[in-house]
Structure 1
Amino acid sequence: MTFSKFNHSEYEEEINVLLYLSLSEHKRDRIESIVKHLCAVLTLAAFIVAVTFMNVNRWTPEVSDYGPKTELAFFIIGLVPYLSIPVAILNCFGILFYNPFYKTNRILPKLSSVPFLCLRIVTRGDMPDFVIRNAKYNRDLCLNLGLQHFMVEIVTDKPVNCQEKDRIREIVVPKGYSTKNGSLYKARALNYCLESHVNLLAGNDWIVHLDEETLLTEASVSGILHFVTDGSGDIGQGPISYANGKIINNWITTLADSVRLAMDYSLFRFQFAFLNRPVFGFKGSYVVVRNNVEMEVGLDNGPDGSIAEDCFFALKAWSKGYKFEFITGEMLEKSPFTLKDFIRQRRRWFVGQFYTVLSKEIPLVYKLGICSSIICCILMPISLSNVYIDSFYPMHRPLICSLLNGLVGGTFGFLYCFGAFVSCSGRNWSLIRRIFISLSCCVLIVPIAAAMESIAAYWGLMTLNSNEFFIVQKEVPKRVQPTGHSKIM
């Protein structure tokens, strides 16, 4: 292959060599990713087979003597895990049909064709130095990649006094500002950005929603640029890693959050890339949406739509016919620093989703997936009690019950293991250490995570009217500068 615009053979030779090396590296990465993907699929199958094998009634007598009422109660309790079958199936499809290890979007699109981007960070303003430091980091990363048509917006309730004006804009939400429908918290701040005297964006410009601690990576920027230039969707969302940063403040909460990254690559990827719908949920960070779509859908959904404003917005957008897509490339965030903060965070999510399901503004058909997730969360203690019942009060069940239990239990066990393994991919650890951490997460962290999720759900049920919007503390020590992970996935 030659390039006619270069007249000197020395240039042609150098370019051909570089192109050859690039293609060779691409082929090696492609083969390596296929091998890793195959290993992940086989591991998922092994988890399902192992749990199924443990549920097969090999030593259980055909007839038990627990009494008809007790047997009926055990039978009903045994049906509860089957409510998670749809989620388990979609997670399996996501792992099976999409390769989480393949480095897509290795080359940035032509920057002249990239529309204007607004990186929007919403904060209360309680951690000004932390917010400004992360905003500058994200800005500098974009500049280093050659991106020019963008700005970073810090939307805050309290002034953070950001003196850096180069592509960073501080928007202070007035204390007296109120929306038409009385939206609160983050929804109120985001709605203020859409006011005509505040919004500087054109209809075809894009907004990238970030949390205070969210850090971009080269991979995520590449994924975003491809998404906004391809025109494949109106709203996009990508994976977030919680263990690739320089500092891990709490390994228990970080590993408990690893399942979220696994579900980004399985459930969320399948529902966005294949179904193009937020069937089972949506996150409030790493959201890429066209400005005119956000204005059309709106964020002024009243107090009940302000607790989980992200989920409410996504379901409204789905009901209006907007298309969702999956964005490749991880961003980095921090897990809660304490177990209490972890529970309080989950409690807010649960309450927000609960109010979303009760809302009359969204048709029921668009809320069925969220509704099933809430029911599964409430019944989680009953579902997990089957482990105790099967161990001490074994009963003979049809083989299909063992297969279904294997599907549900094996899938979720695998997700914790897989999430921990992928989360640690950016750390300078040996393969043996990563496997050990992953298996430890599956064995030790799953019971703790399940307990915290259950406590959060029941706490939320008992405090539905508390109207609390808790924000976890995620500011790292000032001496530690944020570092990104440049691996493109």
Structure 2
Amino acid sequence: MRNVSMMTSALKREVFHLIHCAAFTGTIILVISLGGGLRENNSITFETEETLSSWEQYGFFLAAVLYVTRFLTLLCLPLALFNFLGLVLFNAFPDQPKTKIFSRRDHVSVPFVCFRVVTKGDFPQLIRNNILKNRNICEETGLEHFTFEVVTDKSISLVTSKKVRELVVPEDYATKSGALYKSRALQYCLEKEVNNLNDEDWIVHLDEETLLTSGCIKGIVNFICEGKHHFGQGVITYNNDEVVNLMLTLCDSIRVADDMGKVQFQLKVMHMPIMGWKGSYVISNVGAERDVSFDHGPRGSVAEDAYFGLMAASKGYSFGFIEGDMWEKSPFTIKDFLRQRKRWLQGLLLVVHSSEIPLRFRILLGCCVYATATAPLSTLNVFLQPLFPIQISRFVDLCGCFVGGVIIYMNLYGTIRSYTYSAKHVGIGKLLLLSILGFFVQPFKYILEIIAILWGLMTPKNEFAIVDKNVEQNEMENTVSVVPC
């Protein structure tokens, strides 16, 4: 019976994936059709007399704006292709790693795992609560050889034991290159007099609010035991535990789709985070992490995750994808949402301009970052294209429609994927309602993104904003608070 149930579940998920692929392709075709990409009269070549008509019709300045905004959409093409391939080539609704019963001998064969959390120490109760929850999950799942390390700028009075260690970074500690913020704290852990891990051990990097699941623990153990890669990352969802701000949580749905698309494709196929990755749910071999280090100066300190990933890839280290989800929270307030996105853009701009990383490892991430930085201009196409049609290559039209179709579908898929795997059951009706709500939230999301982009471009790029995700402190302060779905 168990085998029949497993086969039925696998078949069901294959069917879901086929439906997903059909819906994904259909969305792209629909956008191309609505955008005029299928009309024969839209196919214009770059012959001089035909191209000049747009310049003559609108004048040099307006025509230049129209052409520039249209061509800027091509910067999004690599990211859209990676997401499309990741969501089509690999099952978009996979089984979470199965519960596995380890014998004591199997436990001994699994290397030591250190779960490391870096914090400024502003939310001690949040850290203590999550350490307790995560430790219980590890024990319930059967993991034995593990510890939790909290690296903090100020003590949070953790009760230390063999399973829990608190490291307070001295105020006078400085790295050789002058690394700042989280990079400084992470590098402190790797110093010889501080580090107590062997090169064969493993570190799992978590954020303050990250919660482990039995699925991700199994995925981590499987990843380590396979022994194929030095670094790995998996999927993070944002709708579990307690949802504080439903609107912003739905805005983050596309990040789930990005994990299942771009991140999965680049780690499973290219085995390097060539377009960036996140700073949490990162698993790394201790010896490899110490070799790469986080000591890359101020330029590598704002988006330390992307900088570290590209630096490790340039040194020849291999990356893989981890099955199983972790849980985190979306920002609680619009202000924090804007600050978070601003920091990402500013940090990634520093990464793609760093001469310390070879250009071939920066170029695709550079396309993504400049696509983001120029989004306020490329977004104008939504309004300019219907009002001021121009003669342009059909290839550009098709690419722009493809990018738009991928983005629209990713928002829908991210919501479905998040709530399908939710800790609490969500019925079909509620899932449909959330999907519709998520769709209508997207214009608001992109307005926020554009504001954050403009803010990031006009302010110094050496700040590291901390987003407050302490539920207990904020639950009475937020005006948009909902019961978890």
TM-score, normalised to structure 1, is 0.89
- Distance, in Å, in 2 between the alignment partners of 1:460 and 1:307 is 12
User: Alpha-carbon deviations, 1:438-481, whole Å to 9, x = none?
Assistant: 23323x2222222222222221221125x32111010112799x
Q: For 2:57, what is the secondary structure of its paired residue?
A: coil
Structure 1 residues 388 and 60, CA, compared in 2 at 3 Å: closer, same or farther?
farther
- Aligned residue in 2 for 1:278: 273
- Distance, in Å, in 2 between the alignment partners of 1:478 and 1:111 is 39
1:43 maps to 2:35 = no
Please say if residues 256 and 449 of structure 1, whose CA atoms lie closer than 8 Å, have aligned partners that are also in contact: yes
Equivalent residue in structure 1 for 2:130, among 129, 134, 138: 134
1:173 maps to 2:153 = no
Shift of 1:428: 2.4
Equivalent residue in structure 2 for 1:297, among 275, 292, 295: 292
Matches within 5 A, 1:60-459: 66-69=57-60, 70-103=62-95, 105-108=97-100, 110-163=106-159, 165-245=161-241, 247-395=242-390, 397=392, 399-425=394-420, 426=422, 427-442=424-439, 444-459=440-455
User: Alpha-carbon deviations, 1:344-384, whole Å to 9, x = none?
Assistant: 01111111111112222111111112211111011112211
Shift of 1:66: 3.4
Shift of 1:88: 0.9
Q: For 1:274, what is the secondary structure of its paired residue?
A: helix
Letter matched to residue 263 of structure 1: D
- Aligned residue in 2 for 1:33: 13
- Distance, in Å, in 2 between the alignment partners of 1:59 and 1:445 is 34
- Aligned residue in 2 for 1:4: none
Please say if residues 60 and 396 of structure 1, whose CA atoms lie closer than 8 Å, have aligned partners that are also in contact: no
Shift of 1:395: 4.1
Q: For 1:239, what is the secondary structure of its paired residue?
A: strand
- Aligned residue in 2 for 1:6: none
Q: For 1:84, what is the secondary structure of its paired residue?
A: helix
Please say if residues 152 and 166 of structure 2, whose CA atoms lie closer than 8 Å, have aligned partners that are also in contact: yes
- Aligned residue in 2 for 1:13: none
RMSD: 2.1
- Distance, in Å, in 1 between the alignment partners of 2:213 and 2:99 is 14
Shift of 1:320: 0.2
Please say if residues 56 and 399 of structure 1, whose CA atoms lie closer than 8 Å, have aligned partners that are also in contact: no
Shift of 1:166: 5.0
Letter matched to residue 82 of structure 2: L
Q: For 1:454, what is the secondary structure of its paired residue?
A: helix
Letter matched to residue 38 of structure 1: L
* Corresponding pairs, count: 457
Please say if residues 97 and 216 of structure 2, whose CA atoms lie closer than 8 Å, have aligned partners that are also in contact: no
Shift of 1:392: 2.4
Please say if residues 181 and 301 of structure 1, whose CA atoms lie closer than 8 Å, have aligned partners that are also in contact: yes
Q: For 1:96, what is the secondary structure of its paired residue?
A: helix
Please list every run of 5 or more consecutive structure 1 residues that lacks an aligned counterpart in the other structure. Answer: 1-20, 481-489
TM-score, normalised to structure 2, is 0.90
- Distance, in Å, in 2 between the alignment partners of 1:338 and 1:92 is 31
Letter matched to residue 84 of structure 2: C
User: Alpha-carbon deviations, 1:280-303, whole Å to 9, x = none?
Assistant: 111100000000001000111111
Letter matched to residue 186 of structure 2: L
Structure 1 residues 401 and 440, CA, compared in 2 at 3 Å: closer, same or farther?
farther
| Larger deviation, residues 328-337 vs 170-179 | 170-179
- Aligned residue in 1 for 2:471: 476
Q: For 1:328, what is the secondary structure of its paired residue?
A: strand
Please say if residues 255 and 420 of structure 1, whose CA atoms lie closer than 8 Å, have aligned partners that are also in contact: yes
- Distance, in Å, in 1 between the alignment partners of 2:429 and 2:13 is 18
- Aligned residue in 2 for 1:16: none
Please list every run of 5 or more consecutive structure 2 residues that lacks an aligned counterpart in the other structure. Answer: 45-52, 476-485
- Distance, in Å, in 2 between the alignment partners of 1:379 and 1:99 is 32
